[in-house]
Chain A
Amino acid sequence: QVQLQESGPGLVKPSDTLSLTCAVSGYPIRSSNWWGWIRQPPGKGLEWIGYIYYTGSNNYHPSLQSRVTVSVDASRNQFSLKLSSVTAVDTAVYYCARISNAGVLLDYWGHGTLVTVSS
Chain B
Amino acid sequence: EIVMTQSPATLSVSPGERVTLSCRASQSLSSNLAWYQQKFGQAPRLLIYGVSTRATGIPARFSGSGSGTEFTLTISRLQSEDFAVYYCQQYNNWPGTFGQGTKVEIK
Enumerate chain A interface residues (CB-CB to B < 8 A): 45-48, 59, 61-62, 95, 97, 100, 102-107, 109-112
Please count how many residues in chain B sit with their CB below 8 Å of the partner chain's CB atoms: 24
- A102-B49, A102-B50 in contact; A48/B95 too (CB < 8 A)? yes
Enumerate chain B interface residues (CB-CB to A < 8 A): 32, 34, 36, 42-46, 49-50, 53, 55-56, 87, 89, 91, 94-101
In the complex formed, the residue of A with least CB distance to B34 is A105
A105–B46 contact, CB under 8 A?
Answer: yes
- In whole angstroms, what is the CA distance A61 to B98 when docked? 13
Judged by DSSP, the binding face of B is loop
How far in angstroms is the closest Cβ of chain A from B95?
5
Most B CB within 10 A of own CB, among A46, A47, A61, A95? A46
- In whole angstroms, what is the CA distance A104 to B90 when docked? 9
In the complex formed, the residue of A with least CB distance to B48 is A105
- A45-B87, A45-B100, A102-B49 in contact; A109/B94 too (CB < 8 A)? no
